[in-house]
């Protein structure tokens, strides 16, 4: 079993469930799925995940970059931002929040991409 504790922040429930199932099949521990900014902050503070998959565009109460900043102001974690769009301006905002331990994935994300990235992070964090 992996030592990575992963939080998924995704406002589309079916995508969150799919990601969770993929990660759990690969042996990773998913501590929760959050659909809103407030849920993400609450779950992150409660579980202190060492990896957060963060959708950049969240419905309603905030965007993923603002949520990530709030979380990173409290503790360090690896951030994997997910977006359906490549936007250099958004990537620059994200870099301002987390210049180290930051990754971008374009949705839809393939299971092999998730596994490869999480295995790399696992190796990095174990050193």
Please state, as a whole number, how many other Cβ atoms lie within 10 Å of the Cβ of residue 119: 14
- The domain tally of the chain equals 1
d(CA 44, CA 14): 21
Q: How many CB atoms lie within 10 A of CB 11?
A: 19
Whether the pTM exceeds 0.75: the reply is yes
Is pLDDT above 70 for 29?
A: yes
Residue 98: both structure tokens together: 């987390």
Q: What would the pLDDT profile of 33-87 be if each residue is shown by its tens digit? A: 999 999 999 999 999 999 999 999 887 667 899 999 999 999 989 999 998 877 8
**Which residues face 6 on adjacent strands?**
30, 51
Tell me what percent of the residues of the chain surpass a pLDDT of 90.
62
Contacts of residue 98, defined as CB under 8 A and 6 or more positions apart, other chains included, come to 68, 72, 79
What CATH code is carried by the domain that includes residue 119?
Answer: 3.40.50.2300
Domain of 34 in residue numbering reads as 5-126
């Amino acid at each position: 079993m992996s030592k990575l504790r992963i939080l998924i922040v995704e406002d589309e429930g079916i995508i969150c469930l799919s990601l969770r199932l993929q990660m759990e099949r690969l042996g990773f521990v998913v501590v929760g799925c959050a659909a809103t900014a407030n849920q993400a902050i609450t779950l992150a503070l409660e579980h202190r995940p060492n990896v957060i998959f963060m959708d950049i565009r969240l419905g309603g109460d905030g965007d993923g970059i603002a949520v990530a900043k709030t979380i990173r102001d409290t503790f360090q974690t690896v951030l994997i931002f997910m977006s359906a769009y490549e936007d250099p301006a958004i990537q620059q905002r994200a870099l301002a929040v987390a210049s180290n331990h930051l990754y971008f994935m374009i949705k839809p994300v393939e299971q092999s991409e998730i596994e490869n990235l999480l295995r790399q992070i696992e190796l990095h964090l174990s050193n």
